[in-house]
Amino acid sequence: MTQVKIPADIRWIAAKRENGTDHPIETSYFKSIFSLTTPPAEAVINISANTRYTLYINGIEVLDGPCRGDNWHQYVDAVDIAAHLKTGDNIIAAKVVSFVPHEAVRDDKTNAGPFWAMSNAAGPMLICWGDIGGVDISTGVALWFFLNDTAISWNMQYSAFWMGSAETVDGSKVPYGWETDTATDKFVPALVKWSNSIAFGEIPPMPLYHRPIKHLLRLEKTLHLPNGAVTIAANTTTEYVLDAKDLTTAFLYLPMSGGAGGKITLTYSEAYIHTGGTRNYKTNRSDQTGELFGIQDIYFPSGANETYSPSWFRTFRFLRLTIQTAAEALTINSLKQIETRYPLQDKVQFDAPLPWVQDLWGISRRTLQLCMHETYEDCPYYEQLQYTLDTRLQALYTYALSNDTSLVRKTLHDYHTSILPEGILQSRFPSKYAQVIPAFSLHWIFMLRDYFEETDDRDILDRYRPTVENIMAWYKRHTGEHGLVEYLPYWDQADWTDAWDDIAGVPRATLHGPSTIHNLLYAYALEVCATIMDDLEIDVLATRYRAERAGILQTVDQLCWDETRSLYREGPSFVEFTQHAQMWAVLNKLATGERAKTIMTTVLTDKTLIPCSFVMQYFLFRALEVADMYEETEKLWPLWQELLGLDLYTVPEIPGQYTRSDCHAWGALLLFELPRKFLGVSAAVPGYSKIKIEPKGLFLKSMSGKVPTPFGEVSVSWSVGENGKFAITGNTPVPAEVVLPCGARHEVVGEFRFGEQ
């Protein structure tokens, strides 16, 4: 992360507070007017705000930001505004929405912003600097004005409380045209606040860092109304349901005229919900016979020509407009939507003989795209929070799809920043509400090692080595009398599975002592940590971690192996059997050879075992691979194939009709399996200077495609003939080891061709 250094006369500016101790969510409008004789060919400005801004240049909406940070990292966005400048007077303007910190949220939550919005009590703040054709527009130097908003109030969204309050807006109080009007009679000069300078080692509020990732995409589309516009007669109530045909994350713009005294309620939904029975459920996503529930914005038209746009992007497939007119008719035009998401590229090309592979790839890719904005997100509709386990998988999918590492690099630092004084990481971050799931810190370590495998960046291992050590020391301090970790504090969650639903996904064994799952996960992490220390040539720590791991594995084998079931129990004296414990035993190579195969066969066939949820399928696939049983994953793919008959455009949080979210990227597993296993392209050494090509999933019978690497595309085409013989051709830009199903290995570079005899 690069810290910003700017002159001391460039300062934060603020709006004067008018709300006493009530601590509402506040909105202010800032602008500065400057004149140009000749607009420059390039005009880069830097901008940030507390908490969110929308930047306008001469009335054109240019950017939304800043990049999501935390209390120690206030990110600054740089943007070239030259294309929007003109000769004569120009206006640079920003709408700033300030969310309140956790401590200031009211008991009724009516001023609660999103969990991810780590704000402070300073209210609407803006900092901006740059030289535009010789004109300094910097805050603290140039004259900036502000106007406080009186139009927006907030309504708590209990259906998705992680997202905080949505808007209720009185259109008659919105200062429409403020971003294009050079008049400042309703505005007053902004208050000049602190600088970003560090004096005597004292860190100022909101310390500034350069934006570490690319700007988000802004893709404009139209959400059509019948005939492009509708007019609703006076004293009428009507509804329109608009189907975007695809789940999207977009800024919305609703143009209208007339309708003073009326009310428009915008309800954003992923799908229709059926409410019969003991639980709400979903069916085919094009089935519109159920009910639409969801986040709601409310707008009261002023009667003028106006366009309402919520301050934050909304996630929806279906948008319901509920319109109540008063004494004046209201005309509404088709909506503009600007889809926003991280600019993730899909560089994988492939041809698969089974249609479900292509179809599932499409919805998996869309899922990952919609769960990537300024951070990774568990789901874009309900939470928009970056959880470690979800994120580690999403990072792997990102690498496989595009080799893009920038968002993962930011993510690693996000979690590092979340560390508590006792040495454990928060399980979601950035988040104003601190949460700890101990196991998630181990997944952060896996993410760090994955990043090294992708980049060969030893500096990042060295940068975060102390954090790794802190996590492992925290775990070791929770070792109990058995020599196993036990009674872990906070939320000892392992998996959302029905058997543990009543205790929020916590293995029931943890109520009685050690959990085999948690100890085998910790043992696996100890080996990953040892490899990190190997990479850094810190032999003493590598040896220590491996010794501790050996002790845990020996104890688990002695105390938790059940001879009667030929499986690992969930605790030394707690008789419960899970797929999880068996798969982690195999991943740790506690069970190898025929014993591993026997265990994994039981995992696939014994329905009495507590099963892995959707998110844990990645690890189940890896355990089958370690047991040399990857072809058995064919039996697991129907879990995804059944999604394709539901008119889904994304992968849901869980399969079946009871899913909460319709977009949850932990289930986008094909994005990893296809390039890394079906086509078989992976790094043989960190950074891909040598690769391995080892196709699996031969039940597909054939597969061809191209996989991106930092050194260029690798092409692979393989088939299994009617005689069962395997043949493969391809081209690699770097040295590669081609591994055939029979076990034969060939060193190649450039074009290659092999066939089994």
Summarised one tens digit per residue, pLDDT across range 269-321 is: 999 999 987 889 999 999 999 999 999 999 999 999 999 999 999 999 999 99
Percent of the chain with pLDDT over 90: 92
pLDDT at position 408 is: 98
Q: What is the DSSP letter of 568?
A: E
The mean per-residue pLDDT over the stretch 164-184 comes to 96
User: Strands 702-709 and 712-720: what pairing?
Assistant: antiparallel
Instruction: Retrieve residue 465's tokens.
Output: 């080595």
| Cβ contact 403:348 at 8 Å | no
In whole angstroms, give the CA distance from residue 728 to residue 736: 14
- Is the pLDDT reported for residue 749 higher than 70? yes
| Cβ contact 166:297 at 8 Å | yes
> Rounded to an integer, what is the distance from CA 435 to the centroid of its chain?
17
Q: Euclidean distance between the first and final Cα of the chain, in Å? A: 54
**Domains by residue range for the chain, with CATH:** 11-149+178-213 (2.60.120.260), 219-341 (2.60.120.260), 691-755 (no CATH)
DSSP states along 512-541: TSB-HHHHHHHHHHHHHHHHHHHHTT-HHH
Q: Which residue type, as a one-letter code, is found at position 63?
A: L
Instruction: Retrieve residue 315's tokens.
Output: 């996630």
Q: Which residues are bridge partners to 330 per DSSP?
A: 232, 258
| Cβ contact 408:396 at 8 Å | no
> Angle of helix 458-476 relative to helix 516-535, nearest 10 degrees?
150
The mean per-residue pLDDT over the stretch 452-473 comes to 98
User: Strands 11-14 and 191-195: what pairing?
Assistant: antiparallel
- Is the pLDDT reported for residue 757 higher than 70? no
Please return the burial class of 594, using the count of CB atoms within 10 Å of its CB with bins 0-12, 13-18 and 19+. Answer: exposed
In whole angstroms, give the CA distance from residue 721 to residue 727: 8
The mean per-residue pLDDT over the stretch 243-253 comes to 96
Separation in Å, CA 105 to CA 27, 38, 98, 125: 16, 48, 13, 19
Separation in Å, CA 312 to CA 55, 347, 557, 610, 756: 13, 30, 52, 40, 57
In whole angstroms, give the CA distance from residue 545 to residue 525: 9
pLDDT band at 256, cuts 50/70/90?
very high
| Cβ contact 262:300 at 8 Å | yes
pLDDT at position 198 is: 81
Separation in Å, CA 727 to CA 235, 282, 350, 355, 742: 72, 44, 17, 22, 11
Backbone torsions φ then ψ of 329, nearest 5 degrees = -65, 155
pLDDT band at 21, cuts 50/70/90?
low
Q: Which residue type, as a one-letter code, is found at position 694?
A: E
* Biggest CA pair distance of the chain: 87
Q: 357-395: buried (b, 16+ CB within 10 Å) or exposed (e) per residue?
A: bebbbebbbbbbbbbbbbbbbbbbbbbbbbbbbbbbbbb
pLDDT band at 1, cuts 50/70/90?
confident
| Cβ contact 600:632 at 8 Å | yes
In whole angstroms, give the CA distance from residue 252 to residue 232: 20
Instruction: Report which of 392, 381, 476 is spatially closest to residue 427, judged by C-alpha positions.
Output: 392
Q: What is the pLDDT of residues 54-105, one digit of tens each?
A: 999 999 999 999 999 999 999 999 999 999 999 999 999 999 999 999 888 8
- Helix, strand or coil, per DSSP, at residue 250: strand
| Cβ contact 140:204 at 8 Å | no
pLDDT band at 158, cuts 50/70/90?
confident
For 66, how many CA atoms within 13 A lie in the half-sphere containing its CB? 27
Strands of 432-522 (E only): list them. Answer: none
Q: To the nearest whole number, what is the mean pLDDT of the chain?
A: 96
pLDDT at position 196 is: 86
pLDDT at position 110 is: 86
The mean per-residue pLDDT over the stretch 729-750 comes to 97
| Cβ contact 118:71 at 8 Å | yes
For 24, how many CA atoms within 13 A lie in the half-sphere containing its CB? 17
pLDDT at position 277 is: 78
Instruction: Retrieve residue 528's tokens.
Output: 């990953």
Q: Which residues are bridge partners to 96 per DSSP?
A: 28, 53
Instruction: Retrieve residue 682's tokens.
Output: 């992976």
- Is the pLDDT reported for residue 50 higher than 70? yes
Q: What is the pLDDT of residues 410-432, one digit of tens each?
A: 999 999 999 999 999 999 999 99
| Cβ contact 165:110 at 8 Å | yes
* Cis before 265 (ω within 30): no
pLDDT at position 268 is: 97
Backbone torsions φ then ψ of 557, nearest 5 degrees = -65, -40
User: Strands 131-132 and 135-136: what pairing?
Assistant: antiparallel
- Helix, strand or coil, per DSSP, at residue 406: helix
Count other C-beta atoms under 10 Å from residue 302's C-beta.
23
In whole angstroms, give the CA distance from residue 58 to residue 255: 19
The mean per-residue pLDDT over the stretch 139-144 comes to 97
Instruction: Report which of 290, 301, 11, 277 is spatially closest to residue 127, judged by C-alpha positions.
Output: 11
> Rounded to an integer, what is the distance from CA 178 to the centroid of its chain?
34
DSSP states along 9-62: T-EEEEPPP-STT----EEEEEEEEEEESS--S--EEEEEEESEEEEEETTEEE
Q: What is the pLDDT of residues 475-510, one digit of tens each?
A: 999 999 999 999 999 999 999 999 999 999 999 999
The mean per-residue pLDDT over the stretch 748-756 comes to 95
* Tokens 């991106």, located at residue: 708
pLDDT at position 251 is: 98
| Cβ contact 577:609 at 8 Å | yes
Q: What is the pLDDT of residues 563-589, one digit of tens each?
A: 999 999 999 989 999 999 999 999 999
In whole angstroms, give the CA distance from residue 281 to residue 657: 5
Q: What is the CA radius of gyration of the chain?
A: 28
pLDDT at position 487 is: 96
Percent of the chain with pLDDT over 70: 99
Backbone torsions φ then ψ of 176, nearest 5 degrees = -55, 140
